[in-house]
Structure 1
Amino acid sequence: MYRRDFDRRGPPPDYGYDRRGPPPPDFGRGGFDDRRLGPPPPGYGGPPLDMPGPAVRSGVVAVHKEPAIDREKVCPLLLRVFPRLGAHHQLEDFARRGDEPKDEVQVYTWMDATLRELSDLVKEVQPAARRPMARISFAFIYPDRRGKNVMRQVGAVHATRLGEDDSKTLKQLNFQTGDFLSVAIY
């Protein structure tokens, strides 16, 4: 760029980082598939206290409850659940639409449904999930940016013991309508 071009057009754009080196770790966040990036980087305190979700101030964690969904007024969504004994289904089983595994269970539920609620529904159709020592693992299957299916583990629930994943909701886990739910029963 010639000096006279600089004078006429102004300074070059500031991209927020030195373009000769690698981009900063948070570069590119804010795209289509942000929900799949996983947990925030260490040191991130979360949203401000007036926003939903947990926040950290002075080392104290303040947990904000999501507003409850009125299940009488809000229409439920169709959740396609694929339970299997011993392991999750393979991604190849979902490669072609309409050719999914035959052991599908269709559930109508809401975004505030917890993994514990979903495990109770699985127990109704899978006797092995009712065993006292059973562990039920959940994973979302969804297409990535290239259209290829991806599996993401989202939590596990024990049949008789309470755990930290029991109260996680579909909304908190960034479920989107159209995702499949693979359920492995161990």
Structure 2
Amino acid sequence: MQTCPLLLRVFTKIGAHHSEVEFAVRGNEPKDEVQIYTWKDAKLRELTDLVKEIAPEASRRNARLSFAFVYPDKHGRVVVKQVGMTNSHGNGRQVDESKSLNDLNFQIGDYLDVAIL
């Protein structure tokens, strides 16, 4: 089975994740958005490297990146769910680095929110 690429809407923020309120109004999402084409089998390590290209703060030697999926729950309320953590300059030993979007139950249409810590 061949995997098709998808357009992933990525939001970055320094110090913390965006709040649910910031995603509550469709079309009025946070302004720090980057859209990337990727695959559901993309690993958090690969996404970490992509974020480092677009957000210089993520390239700091001691930077940690916290990944969260943003999606509506069954009642239509926005959920920001933390799904993994990586180090900017990974050594491959952090468990989450090898997890893929698919492994983490990413659904097409979800956003990816990345807190740069």
TM bucket normalised to smaller = over 0.9
Shift of 1:75: 3.0
Give a deviation string over 1:93-152, Cα, whole Å, max 9, x none.
000100000100101100100001001000001001001100000000100010001111
Structure 2: gaps spanning 5 or more residues:
none
Q: What TM-score do the two structures reach when normalised by structure 1? A: 0.60
Q: What TM-score results when the alignment is normalised by the length of structure 2?
A: 0.94
More strand by share: 2
Correspondent of 1:164 among 95, 98, 103: 95
Query: What residue number does 2:45 align with?
Result: 116
| Bigger Rg over Cα | 1
- The alignment of Structure 1 onto Structure 2 pairs a total of residues equal to 115
Picking from 66, 80, 89, the partner of 2:18 is 89
Identical residues among aligned pairs (%): 59
Q: RMSD between aligned alpha carbons?
A: 1.1
* Structure 1: unaligned runs, 5 residues or longer: 1-68
Query: Which structure features the higher share of helix residues?
Result: 2
- Off by >2 Å, runs of 4+ in structure 1: none
Select 2:76's aligned residue among 142, 147, 165.
Answer: 147
Alignment partner for residue 64 of structure 2, among 118, 123, 135?
135
